[in-house]
Structure formats: C-alpha cells, structure tokens
Structure 1
Amino acid sequence: MLCKTRSVRALAIVATATTALLSSCKKDPVEVNPTGTTSTASTSYINNWILANMRDAYYWNDKIPANPNLALAPADFFKSLLNTYNATTNPQGDRFSWIQESAAELTASLNGETKTTGMDFTLILTAQGSTDVVGVVTYVLPGSPADLAGIKRNDLFYSVNGIALTTDQATLNKAFADESVPQTYGFAAIQNGAVVRTTTTKTVTPVVFQENPILKDSVYTVGTRKIGYLLYNQFVPGPNGSTAAAYDNQFKAIFGKFKTQGVNELILDLRYNGGGYVSSSIELASLIAKGISGQSKALYYRQEMNPTLMAQLQKDAGGLESLNKYFTPQANNIGNQLNRVYIITTHRTASASELVINGLRPYMTVNTIGSTSYGKNVGSITISDKTNTQNKWGLQPIVFRSFNKNNESDYWTGFTPTVAVNEPYGALVPLGDLRDPLLATAINHMNGLTTGGRQAATPDLTVGSSDDFKPGANNMFITDPIR
C-alpha cells in the first residue's frame, strides 16, 4: 500500500502485532518476492528520504536525534532514529517500528501473502530447567504445503534442517534463518510424560500462499445458551492485490448466521492474532458492540499523533475530528442480543486485536480468557518512495497512539485476563473443540462455574513462536518458565 505521508489527511491507520498499517487509500497490487527489490539508490539519498519521512510522521518525532549519522547503512540509520524501548528507563518507548528492504514484500506480508510452509508453531522448553526446545504446531493453513504433508496441530518437532532447537538465541536464529527454502523437520513425541525424539522427518517446500484469516466458526448450544464462536487470525480485508473486502464480507456473513440462529453469547478467539488493518477491526467490532444501532457517530477510538501533526491539525478546518474513528452501521450487528463478549487472548494477541478489546469496553462487558495480551496501543503506516523507483525500501514506523471512548489507552503491558489459563502444549485438541481449555473456560465462566483468577496449573514453558522470525518481529528473548 502506497500512501503519501506529507499531508496529515493522507495518514489513515492500520494495526499489526509487529505492524500496524494505517490506510484509507486503496491497496495497490504487489507481488511476493518481486524482481528488482534491491535498491540501487545511493545510501545518502535513502537515508535522507528516511529522515524526512520520520520527521514528518513518526509518533516520537520530537525524540529523533538532531544530527543523525547519515553515513550508516539504511537499516542501521533507521534504527538510530527510534525512541528505543527499555523496560526500566523507557517502558513506553518504541518496540514496533521497522524497516524492510522491499516495500512490495512488506505490503504483501501485511495482506496475508507470504512464502510459507503454512505451519504456525509455538516454541516451548521440553521441561522446566531444560535448555532443549521443541516446536509445537498450533495450526496449519488448509491447503498449504504443511497441510498437504500431513502435519497437524499438536505435532512436535525438535530440529529444523538438522539443527536441534535449544534456548540459545544464535541456534534458533540459524534454525529459522530462511523459511523460504525447503524445511526438514525432525519430529518428536511424548512418551510417559517426556518429550522423546523420533526418527520421523518431513520436508516441506514453502510456496507463495495467501492466508484466509478466518480459521474456524461455530455455533454451540449449551443449555439455554446459543454461543457464537469465531477464530480469527489476522485483520485483513481481502487477499493481497484485491480491492474487494472478501474476508471482511466473510465474517459479516458469519455474524448473519449468528444473528439468525439467535446467538446470545459470543466468543471471539484472537489467541494467535497479532493485528492487521484497523479498517477490518472497525468492521468486526461494529458487528459486536452493544447499543450503537441508530447512532451516527459512536466513537470506536481516537488517534493521537506526533506534536507537529497535532498542532497542524488544530489549525485545519476539521480540527482534531479527523482523528476520531467511529463504528460503522452493520445489518448483522448482534450487540443487542448480547450482554457481554468473551475474547480469548495470549501473548500473541496484539495491536488491532487489543484495539477491539479496548474499543468495546465502554459499550459492554469484555471478559478476556487465556493469558496477558502483548501490549500494543500504538499503530503504524507503510511508507514507500513513489518519486524514485530506484529506492525499494519500505518503512513501518509507529505514527499514532489509540484511545477509546473513555480516553483509556494504558495497556502498554497488555490486558490481564479475566480468567488465566494456558494452552496445554503437547496435549492440544482441535481448535473449536469444546475440550479446548481456553474455550471450555469461557463457557464455564458464562455458566458461573468460574469467577476469575488462574484456572490451570499447567506451567507456561513457552519461549517464542513462529511470529518471532517474521520481518518486523521483536528480537525474541528467552526467559525462565512463568509460574
């Protein structure tokens, strides 16, 4: 997506776990791995272009160094401009801005199209105190190479291309260095409660694949409750390069089914959803919010931008009104059939997912089930160079912070769950199965069988996930198991 950044009016926003794409402009068709993605523009030109755009749009533009070193390589130069996060000294700093050598590939990935095996996984310690790590397959995209190879949710692997997984960061980086080439996985099994390596291997060749973010939807009848369930993995309006909102229309149709079937409880499963386009987040939240029917301007959230842009907006005819984002009218809104909503969250729930949580809270009770969400109350835009075709770089800087109707935005450390429960890695059941602890806990809470607090004694042994090795991801860190 190519949007000008010189005009305040041109900034329109999207949010992703490692990204957040802000845009009301139409998506331009792009290719994954297009030819000629290496910039031929000079380092001096690229860095001056980076600096000009960051001074214009970056949320913390007042913290950009006055005289940055323009001789640095572009990626290093971009990093030198950031208001770097530090847990102790700058806990509200920037954890999310990034730069990518191909703006076309950046845009494609934000639209769900990447070169991939189609396998999502979580990395866990094999035991408390161990340095050995296994990957647990959390889901497989239907029709993807991993699916065709017979890989399924809850499968375990201990090695990638002959590299055994450990807590050593360099080893993990090497194992997942290039997921665009064939991947040979060495599989493991659980025997007598312990992880055991087997001789089974599977080689999967990645392909350019378009992910449909809607993985599962169901309606459950539990006593007098009609429970709608939607598992949604990324806020993407439609396939990359398409101007049609096929995926948005798909979840609207699902809510039409929920409405027709008289759903009176809703579980929105965002456990693996790192974010996406704000436009899709508005559409989804507008199907859920209670009491907004008939309102012309029910506020979903407002944006706060950098001091320069805020001062400029105050002088414009529309003032700060352009920063307000409202719910949209939806024929299939089921809010009046609900008294509350349940949202399943994990540490991978971020950005646009958290925007839905925060935006709905002033309108209805939002119960979160699972573990604490990531903590991303800021969003970004994609910036590419439309004046010089020799410059292929793409920027994804943070450009705004979001506030809900009640002016709430303090979830830098994530949303603490109403009821805390961990996924039992190594004993996962199919997604949408009522035996799933997160889904079951939500239903138990509806029925008054769970009031809050921690419900599962299973220790959290996670050390990362497949998200950590995607462009723009935070540097993965290894910690002791959370107890």
Structure 2
Amino acid sequence: MKKFFLLFLGLTFLVFSCSDDDPVIDPGNGNGSNNVTLNDPVNDFIWRGLNSWYNWQEDSANLADSKDDNQNDYYTFLNGYNDYRDLMYNLCYRHISVVGAANAVDRYSWFIDDYEEQNNAFQGIRTRFGFTANAVEIEGGFVVVSILLVEQGSPAEMAGLKRGDIVNAINGTVMNTGNFSSVYGQLGDETATLSTVTEEDGVLTPVEDITMTKAVVAANPVHYFKIFNDIGGKKVGYLLYNQFSDSYNDELNAVFADFKAAGIDELVLDLRFNSGGSGLATTYLGSMIYAQAGTGIMYETKFNSKHSQYNSEDRFQDVLQIQNTQLEVIGEEPVNRLNTLNRLYVLTTGSTASASELVINGLLPYMNSIKLIGTTTSGKNVGSLTLYDTPEIRDYLGEEYANPSHKYAMQPICIQVFNKDGQSDYINGFEPDIEIDDSLNWNEVLPFGDRNETLLKAALDDIEGISSKRELTKFQLNSKKLDVRSPEDDQEVLNFDHLIYPRN
C-alpha cells in the first residue's frame, strides 16, 4: 500500500519510553559515579524525539548526538527545566518564542499538552464559538471587530452572527485601545455576548446583542462554492476552502464534480483563511485542479540526514480514498480532475500557509499561470510530525502505543517540501500579483460569492480584463489594524501542518 505524507493530521511516529512506572536507570558518567537521576522522564522524551527527527537537529548545539554521552551531565541538563515548553523551544533552532519573530528560523514547532484534543483539532473538531475576526482602531480611539468568517453549524452561526457584522462591545463593555486586550480576552470564557452595530457616516448605531456558548465544532472546510456563468463570456468556479482535512476530501471532490459538469473555464480558489492541513488533501486538490499533470510529482518531502530513507515523492492522483473522522478508509472514488484550466487564481492573506502554499508551489511547474490576489502568504515551506512518547524506538508507532501515564506529545518541524523542479524558496511567502490589503475594510465586508466582494471582485475583474481598484472610505482610511487572536484559538492549531503515514 502506498504511504502518503499528509501535511496535517496526527502522525504515528516513534519516540522513546518515558513511563513513570519504569525504573530510572542510574546513569553513571563513565567514571564509576552514579549520583544523578532524572527528575522527569518526559524531558528525556522531548530531547530524544527532537534529536532523532527535528529538521534543524544538526544546527542546535544542545541536540548534538554527543549531548547524552555523559549521562550525569545529560540528566543534569534536563533537570534544569521544569517547564516542557521551555525545554522544547530552547532545544529548537532559533525558535520564535525564544528569539522573536525577526530572528526566528523555526516559527512553527510546538508542544502538545493533550494529543487527543490536538488530533481532533487537526480534523477541525474543537471547542469554540466558531468565528474569525479582524480588529480595527477607528476614530476616537475606539475599537471595532469585523466578523470575517462564521463556521457552519457553530455556536456563533446558531446565535445569528454572520460575516460582515461589526462588533463594538463584548459582555457590555465598549472596546477602545486602552481596554481592548482585556475585553477581547473575555472570549476565552465559555460564554460571551457580542454587541453588534451598523456604521453610517462614521456613526455607530447599536443593532443587537448576540450571546453564544462554546461547543464542540466539526468545521466543514469546504465552506462555500459558486459558479459564475458569464464573466467576460467565461464560466468561473469559486471555492472557499478553509482547511486541508482528509475527512472532507469526498466533499471537496463533489464540488469539483459540479465544476467539471459545468465546464468551468477559470477557477478562483479562496485560501485566505487556510493555514494548512493534510498533504494528502493537498495532493487531491492539486489533482482536481489540473488533470494535465497526469500522475507526475506534485511535491517531494525531505527529512534530516538520520531519516533520509523516508524522503518521498507525492504524485497527482486519479483515485481518492474516502476517510472518516478517525482517518479510517471507508471507500474510494475517482478524483474529479478538471482538464479545462490553463491558469489558477488564488486569494491569499498572511494566514495562507503551509499546505495552501504547497498547492501553489506544487502546481507552478505545470500551469501556464497562477495569479495571486491579496497579500503575501505566510512562507511555510516545512512540515511537522506528531511525536508520541512510545515504548521503544520504532517507526510509525501511533497514539495507541503512547505512554498511558500522560498525553504529552510534540509537533516539531521535521521536513522541508519541494516541487518537482526542486523549488522550495518561499520562506518569505508568495507575493501577490495583485496586491489588495483588505484589513481596513471593516465596514464593507460583503458575503462570500458576492460579485463585489473585494478580493473576489479583483479576480473576476482580471478575468474580464478590467483593472480592479479598491477605494477605501474616509472612515477606513483613518483606521488602524490591530493584532488580534481570539483566546479560544490556540496559535499552535492555527499553524498546524503535519504528516501521517497510514499503516498498512
């Protein structure tokens, strides 16, 4: 059976036994002295996992193979850490949490507190309200939150929140630059009330209070699609796809069945919210977009020198495996591959990352043109593995072999990805062909699929041969974008992108 790399969904990988029930071996130091014992076996798991699989193992001095030669010194080193994250991130090579964004090499590795919750998150199953927002400072020092995406079936949708809503208060407190962090931080609670307003001539008018309670949401990443029948005499397919998740590959395939039946001439792929996912889903999507690629190489994965035997080529596919949320294969069907496209439009933001960028990079050698619209993508040309604490050094030991005494795991960067021409030079992201920063467009957010929605309009105008120009209102021009991340979202989930080998 073919082994598929997937840039997103819990991997069955090794690492090393750290059971609290196991006796701690009195290490010795080669001089007959046995005076240091290991305080926490999980620290040993962290070091050995990174020493074996980490992409930059050779660049990290504390991951040198000689580090554990003297076990007294090695255990003393590990005993100096009481926090698992501190140990892991200090072992990583110039990790963003240690050196800051400007000097970071590793921006993506993370530590996992509960691999069961994490594996659910990889499938889009998480406890949350279910919306994505953009925060903007407006005149007078006030802050408004513009709702950009509401997940289907989420508490936010059930409560009536929708894309384009403007929120100026949370739990009754109007947001301003002085209180924004603390007020927005209340979204970390189980229940929250969002106060929506309308804007006209710079005046905000209250509309309603929307109260919602968090729940487990299994988000369908195939969020929206539409076929425009006459854009400059062409049929154009539009797809908003938010996560590369294998349990929805058949639904993705169904959309392309409609595109294929309609005979679309152009495709606008909206990846503005898509921060990554499954490498297998990536391959399927690439296969659906461009049938002329045949079964050629879409991307190559390369491990560090210790595991180069796992370097592989992932090829375009003609047959799709249908998987459930436990990643069990429950059937297969032909991939609906389009043979009507010569170019591809992709809508992008800084959240367009990893597997999303892999689609772009993988198709570049094949298609006549890939035109990006929006802002520069994230620049993630690497992938990670889920490393579990398992009883012995063996490949592909998964969650079922994990140490029963804890649920800790790691998600370190372990591979770099290349297209068929060996290109992997997008660490600074892919720059857009048509640059449109929509972050200040807080009071004119239109529904997905609306002909005049800013990024979609730019793509459709370009297809028609029209030069698209966005004009901001004076209220938007006087606004300032704020950094915002909902406390309900884990940054580690937003940056997820990992591999899995289905076992034979």
| TM-score interval (norm. to shorter) | 0.7 to 0.9
1:449 alignment partner, SS class: coil
Q: Check conservation: 2:375, 2:432, Cα contact below 8 A.
A: yes
* Aligned counterparts, 1:32-71, within 5 A: 44-64=40-60, 65=62, 66=67, 68-70=77-79, 71=81
Q: Check conservation: 1:98, 1:472, Cα contact below 8 A.
A: no
Q: CA deviation at 1:430?
A: 0.7
Name the amino acid aligned to 2:145: G
Distance 1:229 1:345, change over 3 A: same
Identify the residue that residue 378 of structure 1 maps to in structure 2: 382
2:465 is the alignment partner of 1:448: yes
Deviations 1:280-309 (A, max 9, x none): 11111111125223x4xx111111222322
Q: Structure 1 CA distance, aligned partners of 2:244 and 2:493?
A: 19
Deviations 1:360-402 (A, max 9, x none): 1111111111111111111112222334211211211111111
Q: Structure 2 CA distance, aligned partners of 1:475 and 1:236?
A: 13
Q: Structure 2 CA distance, aligned partners of 1:281 and 1:474?
A: 18
Q: CA deviation at 1:179?
A: 3.2
Identify the residue that residue 428 of structure 2 maps to in structure 1: 413
Q: Structure 1 CA distance, aligned partners of 2:180 and 2:39?
A: 32
2:419 is the alignment partner of 1:404: yes
Q: Structure 2 CA distance, aligned partners of 1:439 and 1:145?
A: 27
Name the amino acid aligned to 1:384: Y
Identify the residue that residue 114 of structure 2 maps to in structure 1: 102
Distance 1:63 1:161, change over 3 A: farther
Gaps of 5+ in 1: 1-8, 26-38, 239-246, 314-319, 477-483
Name the amino acid aligned to 1:292: A
* Aligned counterparts, 1:10-409, within 5 A: 13-15=5-7, 20-21=8-9, 23=11, 44-64=40-60, 65=62, 66=67, 68-70=77-79, 71-83=81-93, 84-85=95-96, 90=103, 93-127=105-139, 132-161=142-171, 165=175, 172=181, 175-176=184-185, 179=188, 181-194=190-203, 196=204, 198=206, 200-222=208-230, 223-238=232-247, 247-293=248-294, 295=295, 298-310=296-308, 313=309, 322-329=311-318, 331-364=334-367, 365-385=369-389, 386-409=401-424
Distance 1:183 1:467, change over 3 A: closer
Distance 1:427 1:352, change over 3 A: same
Distance 1:469 1:118, change over 3 A: closer
Identify the residue that residue 29 of structure 2 maps to in structure 1: none
Q: Structure 1 CA distance, aligned partners of 2:454 and 2:433?
A: 14
TM-score (norm 1): 0.79
Identify the residue that residue 17 of structure 2 maps to in structure 1: none
Deviations 1:392-448 (A, max 9, x none): 112111111111112111111211111112332221111011111211110111122
Q: CA deviation at 1:72?
A: 2.5
Deviations 1:99-140 (A, max 9, x none): 12111111111110011112221222225xx75432211121
TM-score (norm 2): 0.76
Q: Structure 1 CA distance, aligned partners of 2:365 and 2:343?
A: 11
2:372 alignment partner, SS class: strand
Q: Check conservation: 1:11, 1:23, Cα contact below 8 A.
A: no
Q: CA deviation at 1:336?
A: 2.4
Distance 1:472 1:141, change over 3 A: closer
2:280 alignment partner, SS class: helix
Q: Structure 2 CA distance, aligned partners of 1:399 and 1:352?
A: 15
Q: CA deviation at 1:43?
A: 6.1
Identify the residue that residue 32 of structure 2 maps to in structure 1: none
Name the amino acid aligned to 2:306: T
2:127 alignment partner, SS class: strand
2:258 alignment partner, SS class: helix
Q: Structure 1 CA distance, aligned partners of 2:410 and 2:205?
A: 42
Given candidates 414, 425, 434, the residue that maps to 2:451 is 434
Q: For structure 1, which segment, 146-155 or 42-51, has the greater mean C-alpha deviation from structure 2 after superposition?
A: 42-51
Provide the identity percentage. Answer: 29
Q: Check conservation: 2:229, 2:236, Cα contact below 8 A.
A: yes
Q: Structure 2 CA distance, aligned partners of 1:24 and 1:10?
A: 15
Identify the residue that residue 324 of structure 2 maps to in structure 1: none
**Which protein shows a greater Rg?**
2
Deviations 1:258-291 (A, max 9, x none): 1111111111111111111111111111111252
1:291 alignment partner, SS class: helix
Deviations 1:226-258 (A, max 9, x none): 1111111111111xxxxxxxx111111111111
Distance 1:332 1:307, change over 3 A: closer
Q: Check conservation: 2:10, 2:122, Cα contact below 8 A.
A: no
Q: CA deviation at 1:193?
A: 2.8
Q: Check conservation: 1:13, 1:381, Cα contact below 8 A.
A: no
Q: CA deviation at 1:335?
A: 4.1
Q: Structure 1 CA distance, aligned partners of 2:494 and 2:302?
A: 27
Distance 1:469 1:55, change over 3 A: farther
Q: CA deviation at 1:90?
A: 3.9
Q: CA deviation at 1:203?
A: 1.8
2:491 alignment partner, SS class: coil
Deviations 1:34-65 (A, max 9, x none): xxxxx999961111111111111111112331
Q: Check conservation: 1:13, 1:379, Cα contact below 8 A.
A: no
Name the amino acid aligned to 1:371: T
CA RMSD of aligned residues (A): 3.1
Distance 1:177 1:99, change over 3 A: farther
Q: Check conservation: 2:194, 2:210, Cα contact below 8 A.
A: yes
Q: Check conservation: 2:51, 2:57, Cα contact below 8 A.
A: yes
Distance 1:342 1:200, change over 3 A: same
Q: Check conservation: 2:101, 2:107, Cα contact below 8 A.
A: no
Distance 1:278 1:171, change over 3 A: same
Gaps of 5+ in 2: 14-19, 23-37, 68-73, 320-333, 390-400, 496-504
* Aligned counterparts, 1:451-466, within 5 A: 455-458=469-472, 461-466=480-485
